[in-house]
Amino acid sequence: MLAYEVIVQGDGNSRHSGLVKYYVDAASGKVLDVQDQIQTAAATGTGRSLYYGNLSISTDQKSATKYDLIDTTRGSGSVYDAKGAAISNLFDILSATSNATLMTDTDNTWGNNTTSDRATVGVDIHYGVGVTWDYYKNVHGRAGLAGDGKGIKSYAHTMFKTSSGGNSGVNAAYVDLVKSMFYGDGDAARGYGPVVGIDVAGHEMTHGVTAATSKLAYSGDAGGLNEAASDIIGTLVEFYANNASDPGDYRIGEKMRSDGKAFRDMYNQASDGKSFNCYIAGGFNPNLSDGAHNPHYTSGVGNLFFYFLAEGSVAPAGTGLNPAQMACNGDAGMTGIGRDKAGKIWYRALTAKFTSSTTYPQARAATLAAAGELYGNGSAEQNAVARAWSAVKVN
């Protein structure tokens, strides 16, 4: 193979240094290897986050007075400032990413625990991404979204275009085309803080895992399973973090709302007046994915299944629910197998058994097979999977 060695000098405002050597295939133009010519060092900084207090965070030291918000211990995941760029389509996204700047600091102390410092939410994002990386690596043996050891780019201070023609900061997203995550700044006037919680990071990064494995579609039953997968893993990441500032629960995004509510309550998602707790005859209609059968609504079936599998017929304290009300078939006698086993069953099904078109009944079969492989056919764990699916009317 003939290859060219090319040395490029830049401003160092990226995950690479200002002097980089590239090896390029002479025939195809494909980049074969990239080598920084200025050696840097992993460092430990102090992050003054918005939601989680002061944290020790991994950064990249470029010089005595320059640190980048890059985690060299976790695949060189990095955090950029999108400067309020509004995104909706690929053109917007490419524009936002090209104009964003890597977050840097002079003394390795980041943020000030308030939104007056743009680095503050960068700390929350960096922390959430790191916890999610550790969860996948330590629990499931997966390093990086694609299992290739590569970190992810995150863009703070993003806006999201709405169908009404305006912009909103109350959102976060993973975009597989650019293998990156985007985080909104919330809307203080409406009681929403920046959307940078631990469960949000876990949720969005799991969209990347789904894209790299099962490739679940974003409509019909598959769309609901796609969103449920992200809620489920996002919740498991929150429990894994074991952070007293945000104890693990089955509520999505509650840390970011001033009214104490969540974007979704996994144990009773239908309480929002739009979502489904119970599967419907014939399944969810892909043609209604922008309306009544939006994946954020149809995910309620998968979320409630997982809650029953992990916790059993136990109503969360303070909800006013009782076990018989929670189950679509009135089953009040389920015994949970715990989050660890439930998470391993779900992960195995998501990454090794689900396909782009998996339906809820097929997800039942896939998780039963996963439980059998992990814990044995006829095991208590496999029986619990069957009972939990029946409790949400997936038979």
Residues with catalytic function: 204, 296
- Identity at 117, one-letter amino acid code: D
DSSP for 150-216, please give it. Answer: ---EEEEEEEEE-TTS-EE-S-EEEETTTTEEEEE--BGGGTB--S--HHHHHHHHHHHHHHHTT--
Residue with tokens 């629910």: 321
Instruction: Evaluate whether 161 touches 88 at the Cβ level (below 8 Å).
Output: yes
Q: Give the integer Cα–Cα distance in Å for 130 and 47.
A: 13
First to last CA, the chain: 56
The dihedral sign for the CA sequence 129, 135, 140, 141: positive
Q: Which residues pair with 44 in a beta bridge?
A: 58
Q: Give the integer Cα–Cα distance in Å for 219 and 358.
A: 11
Q: Give the integer Cα–Cα distance in Å for 222 and 207.
A: 13
- Identity at 293, one-letter amino acid code: H
Residue with tokens 């998780």: 367
Please, is 139 exposed, middle or buried when counting C-beta atoms within 10 Å of its C-beta (0-12, 13-18, 19+)? Answer: middle
